[in-house]
Amino acid sequence: MEKRVQFWLRVAGWSGLLSASTYLMLYQAVKSIIFLVPLIIVIIFSTYVLTTAKEKIWLNAQRLLWTCIFAFFFVSLIQGVFMAIAYFYGRKLAEKK
């Protein structure tokens, strides 16, 4: 079950590339700082998730839930969906223990 949580965390991290590339295209087209700030947030969040995907902190269902909520509201819906799937497996793992 830990492997599934790690897999979905990695998918969430790499899916940030899709969101980041969209923000980058919008920034290049409009040259507005409104699109630069979310681009930086998505890049930092994706980097954080990818570098810590194997850590034991992600096996805590409460931490996964808060990170999922943060991803939905402040990062992107795509990453939020993948974080929700990771939370689903993390919660199942917590119930097993």
The residue among 23, 10, 18 whose CA lies nearest residue 83 is 10
Residue 23: the pLDDT is: 93
Does residue 65 contact residue 8 with C-beta atoms inside 8 Å? Answer: no
Tell me the pLDDT of the chain (97 aa) as tens digits. Answer: 789 999 999 999 999 999 999 999 999 999 999 999 999 999 999 999 999 999 988 888 899 999 999 999 999 999 999 999 999 999 998 888 7
Tokens coding 91: 């919660």
Residue 71: the pLDDT is: 92
Measured distance CA(69)–CA(36) in Å, rounded: 22
pTM metric for this prediction? 0.87
The residue among 57, 55, 61 whose CA lies nearest residue 84 is 61
Residue 94: the pLDDT is: 84
